[in-house]
A and B are shown apart, each in its own frame.
Chain A
């Protein structure tokens, strides 16, 4: 007890302790910032790729016969089918929508809902990107929610002009 008290009251080497605490804070802050920007970058990339997938699904499922009459309609079943095809073939996600990069698990796509409307031709994809963080020992997996929508109002015949 006396020894502990003496150690606590001893002022020798306090600058060294102070530097260690300062370095610890700087390193922790840097790690948090780097991790935040990594997450942000991942989210932006996945969102961009998903937006492209939703756009292509709507584009493919457009019913051109209606366009000739000035209506804009979409085959909703085909749109959903094409979206899943895109997720598996172009984004290279497995059956459970997991993404592996270089053999390592990168993220998982959790689809909550796919809402499609025939007219106006619209597809809305709601879900979240589930990924791991270097700080995942604190909150567990990180979920980044997204809502991506695409609508096609073009009534001129496309693709063959």
Chain B
């Protein structure tokens, strides 16, 4: 085969049938649609995977709200509050840390009627970017923090 016949660019240009195929515009919209579909699917998958971050934050907020309500009704950071906390941890599959702040206890862990307290929950959400088959998954830790202030609804009659 004479290489001198390969188009105007000489011997480095692609073979003639392949060149013709590349410059042929027939069916280009089909390829265009395929690439666009791929891009849209990739974008949708990215958005859906980001939704898990928001779901986790909502779950954390829910746990915190429920625990605050229990402490409000009990008027103390009781075993019941910790029971609800552990139960919700199991239900949601999260493992946040709980701290009680800005509180003035009147006795043991008791909070007097109308005294306020703040419960803070912190959690580090491991967001998996991608999982290569030859190495461990690439993970970004997203720190989350929810603080909710409550008020005791229990009146403790203390000895004078």
Q: What are 22 A-B pairs at a CB distance below 8 A? A: A52-B72, A52-B151, A52-B153, A56-B113, A59-B113, A59-B153, A59-B154, A60-B155, A62-B155, A64-B157, A89-B114, A90-B114, A158-B154, A158-B155, A158-B157, A159-B75, A159-B154, A159-B155, A159-B156, A159-B157, A160-B156, A160-B158
**Complex CA distance for A64 and B155, rounded to whole angstroms:** 11
User: In whole angstroms, what is the CA distance A52 to B154 when docked?
Assistant: 11
Chain A proximity of B109: nearest CB distance (Å): 13
A86 at the interface (CB under 8 A from B): yes
Q: Is the interface of B mostly helix, strand, loop or mixed?
A: loop
Expressed in whole angstroms, the minimum distance between the Cβ of A46 and any Cβ of chain B is 15
Give A137 to B158 CA distance when docked, in angstroms. 54
A55 CB within 8 Å of chain B: yes
Please report which residues of chain A, range 33-87, place their CB below 8 angstroms from some CB of chain B when the two chains form the complex. 52, 55-56, 59-60, 62, 64, 86
- Give the interface size class of chain B: 10 to 19
A50 to chain B, nearest CB (A): 12
Give the interface size bracket for A toward B: 10 to 19
Query: A-side binding surface: helix, strand, loop or mixed?
Result: helix
Verify A160–B157 contact, CB threshold 8 A.
Answer: yes
Point out the residues of chain A lying under 8 angstroms from B114, CB to CB.
Answer: 56, 86, 89-90
Say which residue of A59, A86, A90 sits within 8 Å of B155 (CB atoms): A59
A contact residues around B75 at 8 Å (CB): 159
Max chain A Cβ within 10 angstroms of own Cβ: one of B75, B114, B158: B114
A56 to B153, CA, bound (A): 5
Chain A residues within an 8 Å CB radius of B156: 159-160
Cβ proximity bits B146-160 to A, threshold 8 Å, 1 near / 0 not? 000001011111100
Which residues from B are CB-within-8-Å of A158? 154-155, 157
B107 — nearest CB in chain A belongs to which residue? A160
State the CA gap A62–B153 with chains docked (Å). 13
How far apart are the CA atoms of A21 and B137 in the complex, in Å?
51
B105-154 interface with A by 8 A CB criterion = 113-114, 151, 153-154
